[in-house]
Amino acid sequence: MSIKDVWGWVTGDTKRIAAEEAESNRLAAEQAYAKLADDQQTQIDELKNLLANIKADPNADKKSSSEPWVEIVGDKWDDVHGLEIKLDWNDAFVVQLRELGIAGKDDDTIVHKWLAMLYEDIINKLEDGVVDRRGEADQYV
């Protein structure tokens, strides 16, 4: 006996009910698939936005961090002003500088003072090294 033979014995109401259930199941499956596709597309869109934000500002997470952060983002030599350095930093870096006693009217001034102190320290160390090397060189003459 085949399925067609069995289906032939089923009454009209049973056939209608079975067809309605099959249609209902089909619609439910289509809706579930559509929701899954929508969810996947939403996740894809969210990832694309996240990637675009990272590309737009790769340091966004560092800028919002509670850990002090500073980075040189550009430099160039100017014949009139000398070396010009462009920095980027977060609020935690400025807080740390204030805690270290560096004051100023705004964040830029505080960071510029820190940079000037850093330059001065580097120059002093270089000069000390040059004096030491000269002193050592004199011993061998």
Q: What is the mean pLDDT of the chain?
A: 79
What span, in angstroms and rounded, lies between the C-alpha atoms of 43 and 90?
Answer: 30
Distance of CA 78 to the CA centre of its chain: 32
Q: What is the pLDDT of residues 20-29, one digit of tens each?
A: 888 888 888 8
pLDDT in tens, 128-141: 775 455 555 444 33
Nearest partner of 109 among 122, 121, 92, 94, judged by Cα: 94
CA-based max dimension of the chain: 119
CA distance 44 to 49: 9
CA distance 40 to 48: 12
- Predicted pLDDT at 137: 43
Per-residue pLDDT, 96: 96
